[in-house]
């Protein structure tokens, strides 16, 4: 179990773009289960269908990627720093099955499929009340930030 303070120590993301509130389970090298509490106060709801507030699908995928980042950092026994960045390098088989709306608790389940030469591949699912909201195969890579001259 990890609370928000520990998440902030691992990920570089901050409000309004931090999309993981708590980690329920984390088995380094294998899987993570985390949650995002979706509230009506989220910035994106101001413009994403004000008449029917829906969390943008790309942000559901981003929440899954942030959970994957936590899992990778825990697996490597490290954390984000100012010299590197954890990039998306691929999203395959993304499917959206139900809208995510204010009041939902988004359960983020991510499993490592492969890790080789700094490239990570994951199988990811986002659920609300045990109903599949979204799923995708994600690929991410940790890269050094080039030094400015």
CA–CA distance, 126 with 104 (Å, rounded to integer) = 11
Query: What are the Cα distances from residue 74, in Å, to 11, 27, 31, 102?
Result: 11, 8, 10, 30
Catalytic residue from among 13, 48, 51, 115: 48
Q: Is residue 63 part of a domain?
A: yes
Which CATH number does the domain housing residue 130 bear?
3.10.129.10
Q: What is the pLDDT of residues 42-51, one digit of tens each?
A: 999 988 888 9
Q: Any bridge partners for residue 14, and if so which?
A: none
The verdict on whether 115 is a catalytic residue reads no
The count of structural domains within the chain is 1
Mean pLDDT of all residues belonging to the chain: 94
Let me know if residue 121 belongs to a domain. yes
* Residue 149 belongs to some domain of the structure: no
**Is the residue at 66 inside a domain?**
yes
Q: Confirm whether 48 is domain-assigned.
A: yes
Q: Which domain holds residue 48?
A: 4-144
Task: Let me know if residue 140 belongs to a domain.
Answer: yes
Q: Is residue 120 a part of any domain in this protein?
A: yes
Res 106 pLDDT > 80: yes
């Amino acid at each position: 179990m990890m609370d928000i303070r520990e998440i902030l120590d691992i990920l570089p993301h901050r409000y309004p773009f931090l999309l993981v509130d708590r980690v329920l389970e984390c088995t380094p090298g294998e899987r993570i289960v985390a949650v995002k509490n979706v509230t009506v106060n989220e910035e994106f709801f101001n413009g994403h269908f004000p008449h029917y507030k829906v969390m943008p699908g790309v942000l559901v995928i981003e929440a899954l990627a942030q959970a994957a980042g936590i899992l990778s950092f825990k697996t490597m026994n490290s954390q984000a720093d100012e010299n590197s960045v954890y990039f998306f390098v691929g999203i395959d088989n993304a499917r959206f099955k139900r809208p995510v709306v204010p009041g939902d608790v988004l359960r983020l389940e991510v499993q490592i499929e492969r890790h080789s030469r700094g490239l990570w591949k994951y199988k990811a699912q986002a659920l609300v009340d045990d109903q599949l909201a979204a799923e995708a195969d994600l690929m991410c890579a940790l890269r050094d930030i080039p030094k400015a001259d």
